[in-house]
Structure 1
């Protein structure tokens, strides 16, 4: 008979809460005059903990997603349109070689999937765009502007 090995689900907690819990446990152990070995024998083994990086640990003030939102708004302003195909947006982003988007993908230009992955946390998703020459995936200016307004909390340039 084959039995399946099941793993306990992993809890995901911020590192700061683990430190608070450890400090509180140490205080409680001191108050009750119980040694650490007795506490570990009595208590059940907790589920494994996976630590999350804090958002404040980032090296720069703006993330790549925030820089991308700003650059996408500039592209919409330059093109003077309300919707852009994904491939046209990538071409415009990568035309300026001083920006990171032309070498974002291991020395190559950013892909459509990477673009979508960077914009997704800000609530910007690609849509089906309809043109006379055919349909394509792309982005609306209003979605990017809304995300940028939420991020900055103020009006963005038109």
Structure 2
């Protein structure tokens, strides 16, 4: 997740304030799981979300194939070398116990990928991406509510 402050007048003092603010753009790659976890654990309702996976889908020439973050990293972030970063393919060369360190570095690449896909989006598609990102957040909340209601129903059956 990466986020930018859009309106510098408002002051956010907590992470919950940042995550629930519509004035700060939050960039997630496939926001469903993150939204699900934040809502189920802390009742945080995400706002101002831009889903990078949707941006890639709308910016790419093949709108029928969802790419994972690794594909986006190697296909699109690797091309953006004007930022002076160097990338090495370390897959397979690193023990599995420290492979999470390499994946954590993908977070550093999110701003670069966001700029790359944002430049390719048409204004109408940008609005569509924002609306769909918000729909994914809402959908994950409804899924949690549905699961909680089913769990309560099963618990009532066990008691009866």
What is the TM-score of this pair, normalised by structure 2?
Answer: 0.25
**Going by fraction, where is helix more abundant, 1 or 2?**
2
**Going by fraction, where is strand more abundant, 1 or 2?**
1
Which structure exhibits the higher relative contact order, with contacts defined as CA atoms closer than 8 Å and separated by 6 or more residues?
2
Larger Rg: 1
What is the TM-score of this pair, normalised by structure 1?
Answer: 0.25
